[in-house]
Amino acid sequence: MDFKSLKRSFSYAISGIVRVFREEQNFRIQVAVGLLVLCAMFVFDLSGLERAILTLAIALVLVLELMNSIFERVVDLLKPRVHQHVKEVKDVMAGTVLVAALTATLVGVLIIGPYVVRSLFD
């Protein structure tokens, strides 16, 4: 195993994530919400399965937002001027992220909600 090459690969990956974090407001918001959910996972006595589901929901939204950023950059490269097909691709990808984010929110409410309600009335 070539650790130097592996280190370089991780460096490139982290650089890409940092770039999207700096340039994309939605990604920063999603990271912040994900961190809040991670904190809530340790505040409340969730089961291992509940923690796993929430972690997967967070990861899904972040991965799709990263993919959305890739698609935006690629279509801008191929068609730099505003074009109807470029707009459609960007809109569909943004819609994909929105569906994932709304679903992840629902999952979070369904899992964490009862713990919050219980803590308010205890």
* pLDDT tens-digit map of 95-111: 999 999 999 999 999 99
* pLDDT tens-digit map of 12-44: 999 999 999 999 999 999 999 999 999 999 999
User: What's the whole-number average pLDDT of the chain?
Assistant: 93
pLDDT score at 31: 98
The residue ranges of every structural domain in the chain are: 3-121
Q: Give me the DSSP letters along the chain.
A: --HHHHHHHHHHHHHHHHHHHHH-HHHHHHHHHHHHHHHHHHHTT--HHHHHHHHHHHHHHHHHHHHHHHHHHHHHHH--S--HHHHHHHHHHHHHHHHHHHHHHHHHHHHHHHHHHHHHH-
pLDDT score at 81: 72
User: Is the CATH number of domain 3-121 3.30.70.270?
Assistant: no
Structure confidence at residue 57 as a pLDDT band (50, 70, 90): very high
